[in-house]
Amino acid sequence: MNILDKLFLKLTLVPKGLYQKMNVNVHQLECILMTKLEMDDRTPSSLMKMGRRKKKKELSNARWGDFFINLIMGLLMAIPVLNGGKNYTEISFFYFVMLTVLLSITTLSGLAEILLSGKDNFIILPRPVSNGTVALSRNFHVLIRVLTLAFPLFLPGVILVAIGWSPLFSLGLLIGCFSTCFFSSFIVSAFYLILMQWLSPKRLASVLGMLQVIAFVGIYLGFQILPRFLGTNEDDGINFSISLQDWMVFFPSYWYAMVIRFFNHGVMNMTSWVGFALTFVSPFIFLFIILKFLAPSFASKLYQINGSVDTPKVRKKQITTKTQKSLAQKLSTIFTKKGAERGAFVFVWKMSGRLREFKTKVYPMFGYVIFYAVIIGGVKKGHMFSLDDLRGQTSYGKRMVLASIYSLFMLSLALAYQMNVAENFKAAWIYFTKPIDRPGKIILGALKGLLVKYFMPFAIIIFLLFLIIVGPKIIPNLLLGFCNVILVSVVMMLGGKKQLPFSIFENNSAKGNDYIKNLLRMLLIGFLGVGHYLIYSFTWAVWLVLLLVILAIWYIMTSIRDISWSQIDNENL
């Protein structure tokens, strides 16, 4: 365990007497948490999941890399807020809102596998461990991960507040940040546990994936609504024009802002005192709700979470002489050549809809696509999105078009990575039993299947949307943007390690490509986007570059199809 994990583990275990009164075995709880945190240090972090891992030391280095990246994000989040004048309570309210949203998104998408994982079921569940201990170990594991993530996010804010405002305000901000972590982790955990009461494990992953997408879309679209409430002025920077009202006591961020008001010697009415008290009482209320109402059936539900594939129910059908082709089979005849490439297209199409881990990792990326489109293209001096900019093809309108297109790169990046990952990766031995001369046909067919199934619908929607708003004149730029994203996708596939679909375990998948290559891919798509912006208004240049990009895609796909067995990374099989 690293030093932060040890610190937060001790903090979570401070009220041991309270846990014992709730029928939680503290010794078992501590042993389970220590083991889980130790195992976390032996698996790659988010920076390393797509990077090379040659030494065990690099895992801890990557976690410190994550720490410094979050530190920079926290600094960027704190500086604009601190320039918001002297409305300390209102400013802190918005700061806690941003922190709550960020942590909730991370917990909702990235830490769900911790709470719902069935990997340790055969070790813990047969032992004499109470339901409360099992449930609390999962929730505290999520909490510690959230605290580890949040600490570098709010550390710059705490330091800057101590310097720019007052050390006393810094203490209030620190209390509010820790309470925000408790709220974010427990509210998401409770949400998952409630869903487990009503849904089977097979349905849970699909429902969670859709809910994650809806949550991402709703939250990120708030970035377009928030500028209506915030203005700017030369003296104070951001102008927080919203005054806190008593009805806001239903929002946890209001509770934490009342701590700042308390230290600021502000006016504290009854509602303010209620919010102030809830800051300290709410973690115990959340804990009681989980242990009293949600934990009893938690262990029994975990017994059911073992499989990786959602196997549909077999329905008896009458035998008919005519066989109707599925959508995947019909599309495969259009986009692939006959043989292994076509079979891989259909295979990956169907498996991507059945693998639970694939859906929970890829579906949330739909929300990220909208996020990057809004953040990169939707920022215009605090004003709302305008259709007039699109129709007139102003510089802002061009940026919005390109941001909408090139944000699809995040989706293609996730597809290229998750295409090779599966918990039941050893089943990939089946590839070696077929007389296939070139495994590159399988890789190319799988890539085409995922691009057609997930990338193409987004591309069609964006194409039709901008075609209706702008007109036919935008067609060349739309085609060039989509082709550039596909170009980077095939370059990624050819430049990385050659791996067959669903043939590697996620922990071992870190041996694929190093972090520098991933950074180069981001730079490549950025370079293509900037170059596209420069030639955007020159239609003849757009058509010329489009032709060159199509030729490059054709050449690289041909190279992928010619990959031989000697180039395949099969060390996991």
What three-state secondary structure class fits 527? helix
Q: Cα(511)–Cα(51) distance, rounded to whole angstroms?
A: 6
Residue-wise DSSP of 473-494:
GGHHHHHHHHHHHHHHHHHHHH
**3-state DSSP helix/strand/coil % of the chain, to nearest 5:** 75, 0, 25
Three-class DSSP category at 232: strand
Residue with tokens 């709410």: 282
Measured CA angle at 153 (ends 148, 159), to 5 deg: 115
Helix (H) or strand (E) holding 239: strand 237-240
- Given a contact cutoff of 8 angstroms between Cβ atoms, the answer to whether 209 and 364 are in contact is yes
Amino acid 483: pLDDT: 92
In the block, residue with structure tokens 């982790």: 185
Which residue ranges of the chain lie beneath pLDDT 70?
1, 41-66, 80-90, 106, 108-122, 125-126, 200-206, 208-246, 265-267, 294-323, 356, 360, 367-368, 370-386, 505-518, 569-573
10 Å CB burial of residue 55 (0-12, 13-18, 19+) is: exposed
Contacts of 485 (CB under 8 A, 6+ apart): 405, 406, 408, 409, 412, 455, 525
Q: Tell me if the pTM is above 0.85.
A: no
Rounded CA separation 220/222 (Å): 5
For 25, counting Cβ atoms within 10 Å of its Cβ (0-12 exposed, 13-18 middle, 19+ buried), the class is middle
Q: Which two tokens stand for residue 95?
A: 């700061």
Contact, 181 vs 101, CB < 8 A?
Answer: no
Q: Which residue is listed with tokens 């030494």?
A: 55
Number of H helices and number of E strands within the chain? 25, 2
Longest dimension (CA), the chain: 83
Q: How high is the pLDDT of residue 475?
A: 92
Q: How far is C-alpha 106 from the geometric centre of its chain's CA atoms? A: 6
Quick check: helix, strand or coil at residue 497?
coil
Rg of the chain (C-alpha set):
26
Hunting for tokens 């699109």 — which residue is that?
Answer: 390
Q: Return d(Cα 286, Cα 255) in angstroms, integer.
A: 15
CA proximity to 214, closest of 191, 182, 233, 242: 191
Mean of pLDDT over the chain: 74
Record the tokens describing residue 7, joined without a space.
């610190």
Tokens of 189: 């955990």
Give the chain's length. Answer: 573
Q: Given this model, what pLDDT does residue 170 score?
A: 81
Q: Tell which residue, 204, 240, 232, has the closest CA to residue 382.
A: 232
Write down the pLDDT at residue 353.
80
C-alpha to C-alpha distance for 444 and 261, rounded to whole angstroms: 60
Taking the C-alpha atoms of residue 267 and residue 269, their distance in angstroms, rounded to an integer, is: 6
511-to-360, 498, 572 alpha-carbon distances in Å: 22, 11, 11
* pLDDT (0 to 100) of residue 236: 46
User: Quick one: pLDDT at residue 460?
Assistant: 92
Token reading at 92:
């802190």
**Phi, psi at 132, each rounded to 5°:** -65, -40
- Per-residue pLDDT reduced to its tens digit, 200-224: 656 666 676 666 666 666 665 555 5
Who's near 537: CB < 8 A, 6+ residues apart? 393
**What dihedral do alpha carbons 247, 252, 253, 254 form, nearest 10°?**
30
The answer to whether 357 touches 204, Cβ cutoff 8 Å, is no
**How far is the CA of 354 from the CAs of 205, 331, 350, 525, 570, in angstroms?**
10, 19, 7, 31, 24
CA 85 to chain CA centroid, Å, is 33
Give yes or no for a contact between 188 and 107, defined as CB atoms under 8 angstroms apart: yes
- How far separated are the first and last CA of the chain, in Å rounded? 31
